[in-house]
């Protein structure tokens, strides 16, 4: 009889591509995940992981077993959903993936509220990039995701994944104090030529929005500095090193040297909660989504 926890560990490694990534998603240590895989190898008398440089790769047998594990985990999820629904109260483990500024600016209050109102519910948060979180939900690695999109980069919801709007997060054009834009009532997108930009790395939704928007206006962006965190981006702007489009959620008050100016039309990113269709009736999902919407202040 194959152990479900060990199959879950193998499935997580297949999704995240590494033992460390699987450990972070499952809330284990890398050593614990490695031990689970080793035990599964002994049970199946099959080599499942092969060393590749500093990392590991799944063998062909492991990939087949991981696909089967995904099917079994979906069956278990349906059974757990039915039991929780019959009890009528949110309970059990609920894993949540959220992008950085939501994890900082929205989730702390939501998680604290859920813990206070539903002590039988164990919510675990992992910070991930929004374009990754949707796939984690679809694959059954994460129960619930908080993700976002922009007006010209809609968030895809694959088959079997449902979503609900949490709210709209306005974004500001942030410039150094003394910048010529600070004396104007409004800045149009066509006015943005000739600026040096501070932006997130390529592949991030914010970066893609900026490059598409400027190119649509006939402008080629000059991205001078790249940073992961909005706080770092704002600090670079405050030092006079460029301008940036920064969402308000999770950013907080701007430091001295940085000024928000109105950009028309104003960029807005929309936040969503996403979950698998098979878990839609689960009280933990419905209560978590309701609490996210309740805590949203926009």
pLDDT tens string 141-152 = 889 999 998 876
What pLDDT sits at residue 168? 94
160/280 same-domain check? yes
| Last residue within a domain, chosen from 29, 49, 73 | 73
Residue 189: C-alpha distances to residues 23, 129, 219, 233, 250 (Å): 43, 26, 9, 20, 24
62/173 same-domain check? no
| Helix and strand counts by DSSP (H, E) for the chain | 10, 13
Q: Is residue 152 part of a domain?
A: yes
Q: Give me the number of domains the chain comprises.
A: 3
Its pTM surpasses 0.95: no
Please say if the pLDDT value at position 9 is more than 70: yes
Q: Which two tokens stand for residue 250?
A: 């999770």
CATH of residue 282's domain is: 3.40.190.10
Q: Is residue 84 part of a domain?
A: no
Paired sense of beta strands 121-127 and 222-226, if any: unpaired
Q: Is residue 83 part of a domain?
A: no
Q: Tokens 């614990």 appear where?
A: 32
163/178 same-domain check? no
Q: Give the residue ranges of DSSP H helices in the chain.
A: 4-16, 19-26, 30-44, 60-87, 100-105, 107-117, 130-138, 205-216, 230-238, 283-295
98/64 same-domain check? no
Distance CA 2, CA 40 (A): 8
CA 109-200-141 angle, to 5 degrees, is 55
Distance CA 155, CA 218 (A): 25
Q: Is residue 94 part of a domain?
A: yes
Distance CA 198, CA 209 (A): 13
| Distance of alpha carbon 111 from the chain centroid | 16
Residue 143: C-alpha distances to residues 40, 46, 73, 83, 123 (Å): 24, 30, 12, 16, 10
119/242 same-domain check? no
173/229 same-domain check? yes
What pLDDT sits at residue 173? 94
Q: Is residue 79 part of a domain?
A: no
263/284 same-domain check? no
Preceding amide of 46 cis, omega within 30: no
The residue-averaged pLDDT of 191-203 equals 91
137/96 same-domain check? yes
Please say if the pLDDT value at position 274 is more than 70: yes
The residue-averaged pLDDT of 246-250 equals 88
What pLDDT sits at residue 266? 84
43/183 same-domain check? no
CATH of residue 34's domain is: 1.10.10.10
Q: Is residue 287 part of a domain?
A: yes
Torsion of CA 222, 223, 225, 229, to 10 degrees: 150
The residue-averaged pLDDT of 268-292 equals 91
- The 3-state DSSP class for residue 58 equals strand
117/263 same-domain check? no
CB atoms within 10 A of CB 152: 11
Among 99-103, 107-111, 136-140, the range scoring the smallest mean pLDDT is 136-140
Residue 99: C-alpha distances to residues 28, 38, 103, 111, 260 (Å): 20, 32, 6, 15, 23
Q: Is residue 113 part of a domain?
A: yes
Q: Is residue 57 part of a domain?
A: yes
| Last residue within a domain, chosen from 73, 104, 122 | 73
161/184 same-domain check? no
Residue 57's domain comprises 4-73
The residue-averaged pLDDT of 157-176 equals 91
38/121 same-domain check? no
Count how many residues are written for the chain. 298
């Amino acid at each position: 009889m194959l152990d479900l926890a060990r199959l879950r560990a193998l499935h997580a490694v297949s999704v995240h591509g590494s033992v460390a990534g699987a450990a972070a998603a499952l809330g284990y240590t890398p050593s614990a995940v490695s031990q689970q895989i080793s035990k599964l190898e002994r049970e199946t008398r099959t080599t499942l992981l092969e060393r590749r440089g500093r990392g590991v790769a799944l063998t062909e047998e492991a990939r087949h077993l991981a696909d089967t594990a995904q099917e079994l985990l979906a069956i278990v999820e349906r059974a757990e959903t039915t039991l929780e629904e019959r009890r009528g109260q949110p309970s059990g483990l609920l894993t949540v993936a959220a992008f950085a500024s939501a994890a900082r600016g929205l989730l702390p209050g939501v998680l604290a509220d859920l813990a206070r109102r539903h002590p039988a519910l164990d919510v675990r948060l992992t910070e991930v990039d929004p374009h990754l979180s949707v796939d984690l939900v679809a694959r059954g690695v994460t129960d619930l995701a908080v993700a976002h999109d922009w007006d010209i980069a809609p968030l895809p919801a694959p088959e079997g994944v449902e979503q609900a709007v949490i709210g709209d997060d306005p974004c500001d054009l942030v410039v150094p104090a003394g910048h010529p834009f600070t004396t104007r009532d409004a800045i149009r997108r066509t006015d943005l030529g000739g600026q040096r930009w501070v932006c997130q790395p390529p592949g991030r939704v914010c970066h893609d929005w900026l490059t598409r928007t400027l190119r649509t206006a006939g402008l080629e962006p000059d991205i001078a500095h790249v940073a992961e965190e909005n706080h770092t981006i704002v600090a670079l702007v405050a030092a006079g090193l460029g301008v940036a489009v920064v969402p308000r959620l999770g950013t907080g008050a701007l430091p001295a040297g940085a000024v928000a100016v109105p950009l028309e039309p104003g960029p807005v990113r929309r936040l969503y909660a996403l979950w698998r269709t098979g878990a839609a009736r689960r009280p933990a999902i419905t209560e978590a989504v309701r609490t996210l919407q309740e805590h949203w202040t926009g």
